Structure 1
Amino acid sequence: MSFTVVSLGGPVAPEGEAMLAAAGITSLSTGPYPAKDEVVALLAAHRADAVIVRLVERIDDEILRASPNLRLVHKHGAGTNDIDVAAAKALGIPVMAAVGANAHSVAEHALALMFALIKDMRRQDAFVRGGNWAGKSYQGHELRGRKLGLVGMGLIGRNLARMASAIGMSVEAYDPFAPDDAFGRECRRAPDLDALLASSDVVSLHCPLTEQTRDLINARTLGLMKPSALLINTARGEVINETDLVVALREGRIAGAGLDTFAPEPPAADNPLWALDNVVVSPHVGGVTEEARREVSLITCGNVVSFLKGEDVPQRFFVAR
C-alpha cells in the first residue's frame, strides 16, 4: 500500500525525505505559514495519510477533516500549541511530537541570548559598525556568580542547567510537574514561582503553553523581578504578555530581554519591542540548527513510517491517541 505525507510549512531535512522515499511514501510540502484554504485543498486533493506540522498558523478541525485518509498528525518539534489536539483526539487521529530532539539546540540558544545581553553585544556591534572604537562605551558583565532561574525543567531546562552551572552560575528551577530526579547537582528545586522570579538574575522560560502558563509573565510577575534581571524566552510567545513586557523594559523594571518567540508569529513589523535597545531577538530559530533539524526530521519521519506501516512507536512521542 502506498502512502502520502504532507509537510506543512516546508520540507523536512534531506535525511528525513530520504527515509520517506525509501519507505515508498510520497512526500509533499508547502511553504512557510500556508493559507488555510491551500492546506485544505492540498490534503483533500492528495488524500494525505499523515501530516507533518512545521510552520503553520493552526491545525484545526476543518484541516483535520480535509483528507478522509488522515491517520496521523506529527509535530516537527516538541510544542503542539498550533494543533487542536482535542479535535484530533475526537476524530481518532493520534498526535505525536519529536519530544527532546532539539533540546540541546534550544538550551544553547537560550544561553546565547543570555551572553548577547550580558555582554552588551547588540550595542557594541552597532557601535563598531558605526565607525567607533572606545572601550569606555562597554557595559558588559559576567554570568559567572549570577543566579539562573528556570521556569520548566524538561529536557531543555536540564540541558541549560548543566551549561549554566559549568560557567559558574547557580541554578534553581520551578516546575511542579518535574520528578525529583530532574534536579541534581546543577539545579535546586524552587519552592514557588514568585520566589524564583524575585531572587534570579536571569529568568529563562522553558514551560509548555497551557491555559495555566498563558501570560504567566505579566505586569505582576515582572514587578517581582530585580531591575537588573534579564528575561529569556525560547518557549512560546504567549507565555509572556508582550504589552506588559514592553512597559517593563521601557521603564527599567527589568534590564533586558532575549526573545526567540512571539505572539503572534510572525510578529508585526511595527512591534514596539524593535525600538528597544535592551532587547535581543531571533525569529524562533532556537530549535532549528542544522543538527537539531536533522534529528527532529529523523525522529519525525521514523515515527511516521513506523505508524503508517503498523509498527510500534514509543509511547513518549504520543501527545494524544
Structure 2
Amino acid sequence: MRKVLIATEKPFAPVAVKKISKIFEKAGYELQLLERYTEKQELLDAVADVEAAIIRSDKFDEEVLNAGKKLKIVVRAGAGYDNVDLDAATANNIVVMNTPGQNANAVAELAIGLAIMGLREMYSGKPGGEMRGRTLGLHGFGYVARNVFRIARAMGMKVIVYTRYSKGAAAAIGLKVAKSLEDLYEKSDIVSIHVPARGEHIRSVSAEVLSHLKDGSILVNTARKEVINEPDLVKCMEEKPGIKYMSDLTPDSEAEFEEKFPGRFFFTPKKAGAQTAEANLNAGLAAAQQIVDFFEKGDNTHQVNK
C-alpha cells in the first residue's frame, strides 16, 4: 500500500482533509497527517517512510528531500513552489508538481481588493477614487492575472498587459499588449504584479521600471517579494509622494516603510492570497488527484522540475 503524507504547518481545513482522504482511500493509499508541527525533525521523521507528500508553504529543502528515501513525488498545493529545492528533488529522482490555477481566483480577488483599498485611502475617511475608468496594468499573464482581468473588466477598467510568452493569448481575449515593461508601468494607474520569483523576474521591478510609474499610481504585489528591488522602490516612493505600495507580503524593509510612508502602504500579516476556504479545498483536492494520476497513469503534467 502506498503511503502519502500531508505535511502542513498551516493545515488544510477539516473539510478539505476529509475530501482528500476519500481520494486516497478510493485509490487504496494510506494517508498520514503531520499538522502544526514546530520542529524540523518532525518533518524529517515523517517523510522517511512515504512515497508522496502534499505540502503548502512548508520548506522541503535538501535535508528533507534526502530524508525521504522512498519519496517519488511532492505536490505543492498552490502555484508558487520556491519553498521546494528543485535541484535536490531532481538529484533524488523526485517529481515536484504544483497545482496551477486552483487558487487563482482567490489571489485575483485579493489583488483587486488591495487596489481598491489603496484608491480609497486605506478606508481612512479621506476622499478616494474609483476603479472604473482607470487603467490597470498586468505585469505577467498567468492564471491569476487572467482572473484579475476578468474582474477589472467587469468593473469598467481599461486593462493592458506585458507578457513575453502569452502575447497571442492576451490579444485573443481583447487585451492590449504593452511593448515593454516600462511602457506598461508608464501607462497604468494601477499595476498588479503576477510573475514568479525566479530567473529574469528576480528584482525585475527595479529603478529602470519604477521610474516610469506615474505619481499617484498604485503598485499591487500578490506575487513574491523577491520580484521587487526594495531599495529602488523606497527611492521611487521618496521621489514620488503619491505612489502607494499594497502587498500580501511584508518586505524586508518594513521598518523603513513605516518610518517614511505612513498611509501609503499596506501589508497583510501573513501571505494571504490563497487563504480562502475555496482555494484551500481546490488546491488540496487537485494535489491529491495529481498524486493518484502520477502513480496510476504516469501523468506528470504539472511537473516543475526536470
TM-score (structure 1 length as normaliser):
0.85
1:179: how far off?
4.6
User: Which residue of the partner structure matches residue 52 of structure 2?
Assistant: 50
Verify the 8 A CA contact 2:23 2:288 in the aligned structure 1: yes
1:312: how far off?
4.1
User: Which residue of the partner structure matches residue 201 of structure 2?
Assistant: 213
Tell me, in whole angstroms, the C-alpha distance in 2 between the residues paired with 1:307 and 1:77: 17
Q: Which amino acid aligns with 1:290?
A: A
1:178 equivalent in alignment to 2:177: no
Alignment: residue pair count: 298
1:297: how far off?
0.8
Name segments (4+ residues, structure 1) moved above 4 Å: none
> What is the DSSP-based 3-state SS (H/G/I as helix, E as strand, rest coil) of the residue aligned with 1:52?
strand
Tell me: CA distance 1:273–1:36, structure 2 relative to 1, closer, same or farther (3 Å). farther
1:123: how far off?
2.1
Tell me, in whole angstroms, the C-alpha distance in 2 between the residues paired with 1:250 and 1:29: 46
Structure 1: gaps (5+ residues): 125-137
> What is the DSSP-based 3-state SS (H/G/I as helix, E as strand, rest coil) of the residue aligned with 1:212?
helix
Verify the 8 A CA contact 2:133 2:158 in the aligned structure 1: yes
Verify the 8 A CA contact 1:20 1:27 in the aligned structure 2: no
2:274 aligned to which of 277, 287, 293: 287
1:149: how far off?
0.8
Alignment of 1:144-223 (within 5 A): 144-223=132-211
Verify the 8 A CA contact 2:141 2:170 in the aligned structure 1: yes
Q: Which amino acid aligns with 1:313?
A: D
1:139 aligned to which of 112, 115, 127: 127
Q: Give per-residue Cα distances to partners, 1:104-136, cap 9 Å, x unaligned.
A: 111111101111111123423xxxxxxxxxxxx
1:5 equivalent in alignment to 2:5: yes
1:263: how far off?
5.2
Q: Give per-residue Cα distances to partners, 1:201-257, cap 9 Å, x unaligned.
A: 111000111121111112332222111110000111111123332343344355211
1:246 equivalent in alignment to 2:230: no
1:277: how far off?
1.5
Alignment of 1:240-319 (within 5 A): 240-262=228-250, 271-275=255-259, 276-282=262-268, 283-308=270-295, 310-313=296-299, 315=301, 317-319=302-304
Q: Give per-residue Cα distances to partners, 1:75-99, cap 9 Å, x unaligned.
A: 1101111111122122211111101
Q: Which amino acid aligns with 2:271?
A: H
User: Which residue of the partner structure matches residue 130 of structure 1?
Assistant: none
Tell me: CA distance 1:249–1:17, structure 2 relative to 1, closer, same or farther (3 Å). farther
Tell me: CA distance 1:179–1:36, structure 2 relative to 1, closer, same or farther (3 Å). farther
Tell me, in whole angstroms, the C-alpha distance in 1 between the residues paired with 2:116 and 2:225: 21
Alignment of 1:68-83 (within 5 A): 68-83=69-84
Tell me, in whole angstroms, the C-alpha distance in 1 between the residues paired with 2:50 and 2:205: 39
> What is the DSSP-based 3-state SS (H/G/I as helix, E as strand, rest coil) of the residue aligned with 1:121?
helix
Verify the 8 A CA contact 1:11 1:28 in the aligned structure 2: no
1:274: how far off?
4.2
Tell me, in whole angstroms, the C-alpha distance in 2 between the residues paired with 1:43 and 1:251: 50
Tell me: CA distance 1:271–1:50, structure 2 relative to 1, closer, same or farther (3 Å). farther
Verify the 8 A CA contact 1:170 1:187 in the aligned structure 2: no
User: Which residue of the partner structure matches residue 127 of structure 1?
Assistant: none
Q: Give per-residue Cα distances to partners, 1:127-151, cap 9 Å, x unaligned.
A: xxxxxxxxxxx22011111111111
Tell me, in whole angstroms, the C-alpha distance in 1 between the residues paired with 2:187 and 2:132: 16
1:98 equivalent in alignment to 2:105: no
CA RMSD of aligned residues (A): 2.2
